[in-house]
Every structure is written in structure tokens, then in C-alpha cells.
């Protein structure tokens, strides 16, 4: 079993997953700072459009994070970079990569049907996140990429996103529309056209024209997309990639986390570390029992209560830790303040990688 410190030294991708609000963004930022402190060149990427990562790192409004990695100004042994995913910029860049000409790229990018699926295709957002991860992973400037994901329910979409792209390309309708059968009919054959004309009675004709144009223009690009989707999938299941699950010691969150660990296992992914965030401290109160009647009685009552809460938390966690057969478990206490600067992240990382 590897400690989190070992993962920070050895892995090239670390994905932080977990339910909403448990501390994924904070943990991703703290792990990135710690790995950078240990000499690695780290890029932390957030998919959360809210400015939480900026906030957690204390970057402020004058240095907003964008779609390009930005170096964080901090004196450490390695380098710390951060980037906030912009889905549509990433999608557009991908189209430009696989288009056979600038003209083809421009036609697709200005096509309304494309804009619609780019914005609303289920999993498009998650796929772009994976795409960005792949791009950063292959960027020579970084040794380690740490990913801050959306809450668990979306994280499954996130993992399935590359497969969904290949499913779309394998879809029969798509195949009919771009069947390679020569000349113009090669692109949109007659049967498909009449099918789309029927559809045009339901939706507007211009939507259908856009769809025909999109599929016609997309012709020739699908191999690039398919190859990329497979590469992204392989990166997720590679030995050099680790999943870190963040949770809080509460029944409902732990149940979600347990289901998530099982789903990941089905996808051949092991959770290599569990971060239990906002844990109540465990006090030894036995020796205080003699004070229960004296002037310190109120303190003893509070300590006993918090002892009871802490013990309850550990019980709740047991099922989850049993599900994780080979993962490191670290507890991070409820800190007395929110984490909103590098100093706070430093405090947190001392709990994540105790010496
Ligand atoms: N151990 C801790 N002690 C005190 N405050 C914490 C701790 N961990 C996280 N926080 C605070 O809890 C809040 C939520 O944390 P964070 O944004 O990292 O959660 P998240 O899992 O990324 O949320 P979301 O699912 O909404 O993206 C933040 O204000 C953060 O500063
Ligand atoms: Mg977050």
C-alpha cells in the first residue's frame, strides 16, 4: 500500500473525486502544493467554474485562472501551476487539431448544430475535462497533473466520457449519415437525407441543414477523435494515474463514496488513497472521569460528547475502508478556519502527508 507522499512522488496523474462540498478542490490544491514543495513540477486543473481553486490558493481577482496554465508565485523547490477548464475553448481547440484544413474547422465551429451538441451533448463537459487532462499530461512543462473534479455523480460521467465519444461515432445513424459511398452522396446518402427531411417537419428545416452540413464536414475527422478517446481512456486506467477519494465522516456521504469505489473497481480503477476530511479529534477522556464532578465538569461533558462523535465517525468509516482493500487512509481534522491561502493549504498538507 502506498502512502499519499509516495503517490505525490511517483504518479504523473492524480484525480481527486468525491461528493459535493467534501473538500475536493481544497485537497487537490493542498496535494499540488505539497508535491511542488517536494520538487515536482505540478499543474492543478479545476473543472469547477466557480472560483474555488483561485480562492483556495489565495490568488485573488487580479490573477484569474484561465484555460492556459498559470504559474503560481510561491517559493518552493519545484513549480506550482494552475488552470481552470473552459469547456468551449477546449472543444474548439480539439476541432482545430483534427480538422484536415482551416476551412473545415471554421465551417464546423460556426455550425449551429455543432454549437448545440458541443454545449449540450451529455458528457461533453466531462469529455473536455478529460481532453484537457490528456493535453496537460503530455505537456513537457509538468511532471504531475492533479485534477479537481465535480461532485461524484458527475465523476462517473467523467470516466465514461471517452467511451461515449466512441459510442457516438459507432452509432448507426452517424454511420449512415457519413457513409463513405462516393461523391456528395458519399457524405449524406439519399436515404439519410429523406430521413432528415422527415425530421425537418418536426424540427425546423434550418436545424436539419445544419445537421447535414455538420456531418458532411465532420467526415474524415472521426478517426482522430476515436484515437484520442482511446488514449484518454488508457491514461485513466494507467498505473501512473491514481484516484484519491475525498469524503467526510457522515453516513450519507460515506454510502455515496462506497458505491463510487465499487463503480470505479468495475472500470478497473483502484482508489489508492482515501482522505477523510473534517474529522473530529479523538481525545483520551478516560483519565478525566475523576473530574466529572468538580469545577471542570462542563469541559469534561464537552470532551465526552466530542469523544462520542469521534467514535461514531470511525464506525461509519469502517465499511468504506473495508471496501478499499489496498488504499491508504488519512484523516484531516476540521480546521478552525476556511482554507483560502497557500499558508492554509500548507497546514492541510501536513495532515495529508504526515512525517
Ligand atoms: N479540513 C477543513 N477544515 C475546515 N474547512 C475546510 C476543510 N476542508 C475544506 N474546508 C472548507 O470547506 C469548503 C468546501 O471545500 P471545497 O470547495 O474544497 O469542497 P469541494 O468538495 O471541492 O466542493 P464542490 O463539490 O462544491 O466542488 C471550503 O470553504 C473550504 O475552505
Ligand atoms: Mg470543488
Distance (Å, rounded) from C-alpha 190 to C-alpha 180? 13
% of the chain residues with pLDDT over 90 = 29
Distance (Å, rounded) from C-alpha 273 to C-alpha 205? 53
Which of 89-103, 172-186, 231-245 shows the highest mean pLDDT?
231-245
Report the pLDDT value the prediction gives residue 156, as an integer from 0 to 100: 63
Q: How far is CA 285 from the centre of its chain?
A: 41
Does ligand 1 have an atom closer than 6 angstroms to the CB of 339?
Answer: yes
Distance (Å, rounded) from C-alpha 142 to C-alpha 69? 10
Does ligand 1 have an atom closer than 6 angstroms to the CB of 242?
Answer: no
Secondary element (H or E) of residue 273 = strand 271-279
pLDDT at 153 exceeding the cut of 80: no
Neighbours of 203 (CB within 10 A): 11
State which ligand 1 atom lies nearest to the alpha carbon of 339: 31
Does ligand 1 have an atom closer than 6 angstroms to the CB of 46?
Answer: no
Distance (Å, rounded) from C-alpha 175 to C-alpha 187? 10
Report the pLDDT value the prediction gives residue 186, as an integer from 0 to 100: 44
Q: Where does the pLDDT of residue 187 fall: very low under 50, low under 70, confident under 90, or very high at 90 and above?
A: very low
Residue with cell 486506467: 237
State which ligand 1 atom lies nearest to the alpha carbon of 335: 3
Please check whether the domain covering 4-162+238-305+325-352 is classified as CATH 3.40.50.720.
no
State which ligand 1 atom lies nearest to the alpha carbon of 278: 1
Per-residue CA distances from 159 to 11, 118, 147, 260 (Å): 19, 18, 13, 11
151 Cα: distance to centroid of ligand 2 (angstroms): 7
- Alpha carbon nearest to ligand 1 atom 4, residue: 335
Distance (Å, rounded) from C-alpha 304 to C-alpha 299? 9
Distance (Å, rounded) from C-alpha 126 to C-alpha 104? 25
DSSP string across 61-85: TTS---SS-EE-----SSEEEEEE-
Q: Rounded to 5, what percent of the chain is helix, strand, coil?
A: 55, 15, 30
Q: Where does the pLDDT of residue 168 fall: very low under 50, low under 70, confident under 90, or very high at 90 and above?
A: low
Per-residue CA distances from 127 to 59, 171, 190, 319, 354 (Å): 27, 18, 32, 32, 35
State which ligand 1 atom lies nearest to the alpha carbon of 18: 21
Report the pLDDT value the prediction gives residue 130, as an integer from 0 to 100: 79
Give the start-to-end residue ranges of the domains of the chain. Answer: 4-162+238-305+325-352
107 Cα: distance to centroid of ligand 1 (angstroms): 43
Task: Give the gyration radius of the chain's Cα atoms.
Answer: 25
pLDDT, tens only, 229-254: 888 889 988 999 999 999 998 888 88
Range with lowest mean pLDDT among 28-32, 210-214, 260-264: 210-214
Q: Where does the pLDDT of residue 37 fall: very low under 50, low under 70, confident under 90, or very high at 90 and above?
A: very high
Which of 72-81, 280-289, 296-305 shows the highest mean pLDDT?
72-81
pLDDT at 15 exceeding the cut of 90: yes
Choice between 257 and 216, residue whose per-residue pLDDT is larger: 257
Segment 324-330 shows an average pLDDT of 83
Q: How many H helices and E strands in the chain?
A: 16, 8
Q: Where does the pLDDT of residue 217 fall: very low under 50, low under 70, confident under 90, or very high at 90 and above?
A: confident
Amino acid at each position: 500500500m502506498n502512502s499519499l507522499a509516495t503517490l505525490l512522488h511517483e504518479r504523473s496523474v492524480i484525480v481527486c473525486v468525491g461528493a459535493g462540498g467534501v473538500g475536493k478542490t481544497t485537497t487537490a490544491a493542498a496535494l499540488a502544493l505539497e508535491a511542488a514543495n517536494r520538487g515536482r513540477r505540478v499543474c492543478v486543473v479545476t473543472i469547477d467554474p466557480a472560483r474555488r481553486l483561485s480562492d483556495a490558493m489565495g490568488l485573488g481577482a487580479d490573477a484569474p485562472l484561465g484555460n492556459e496554465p498559470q504559474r503560481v508565485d510561491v517559493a518552493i523547490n519545484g513549480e506550482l501551476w494552475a488552470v481552470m477548464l473552459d469547456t468551449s475553448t477546449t472543444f474548439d481547440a480539439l476541432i482545430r487539431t483534427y480538422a484536415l484544413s482551416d476551412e473545415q474547422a471554421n465551417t464546423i465551429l460556426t455550425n449551429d448544430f455543432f454549437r448545440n451538441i458541443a454545449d449540450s451533448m451529455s458528457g461533453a463537459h466531462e469529455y473536455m475535462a478529460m481532453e484537457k487532462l490528456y493535453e496537460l499530461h503530455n505537456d513537457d512543462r509538468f511532471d504531475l497533473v492533479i485534477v479537481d473534479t465535480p461532485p461524484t455523480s458527475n465523476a462517473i460521467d467523467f470516466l465514461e466520457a471517452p467511451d461515449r465519444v466512441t459510442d457516438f461515432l459507432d452509432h448507426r445513424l452517424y454511420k449512415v449519415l457519413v457513409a463513405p459511398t462516393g461523391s456528395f452522396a458519399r457524405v449524406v446518402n439519399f436515404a439519410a437525407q429523406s430521413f432528415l427531411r422527415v425530421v425537418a417537419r418536426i424540427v425546423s428545416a434550418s436545424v436539419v441543414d445544419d445537421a447535414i452540413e455538420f456531418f458532411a464536414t465532420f467526415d474524415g475527422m472521426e478517426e482522430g477523435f476515436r484515437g484520442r478517446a482511446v488514449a484518454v481512456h488508457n491514461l485513466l486506467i494507467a498505473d501512473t494515474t491514481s484516484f484519491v477519494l475525498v469524503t467526510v465522516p457522515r453516513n450519507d456521504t460515506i454510502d455515496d463514496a462506497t458505491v463510487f469505489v465499487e463503480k470505479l473497481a468495475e472500470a478497473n480503477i483502484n482508489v489508492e488513497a482515501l482522505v477523510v476530511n473534517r474529522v473530529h479529534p479523538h481525545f483520551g477522556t478516560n483519565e478525566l472521569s475523576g473530574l466529572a464532578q468538580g469545577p471542570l465538569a462542563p469541559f469534561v461533558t464537552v470532551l465526552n460528547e466530542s469523544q462520542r462523535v469521534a467514535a461514531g465517525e470511525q464506525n461509519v468509516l469502517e465499511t468504506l475502508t473495508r471496501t478499499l482493500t489496498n488504499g491508504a487512509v488519512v484523516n484531516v481534522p476540521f480546521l478552525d478556519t476556511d482554507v483560502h491561502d497557500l499558508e492554509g493549504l500548507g497546514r492541510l498538507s501536513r495532515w495529508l502527508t504526515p512525517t
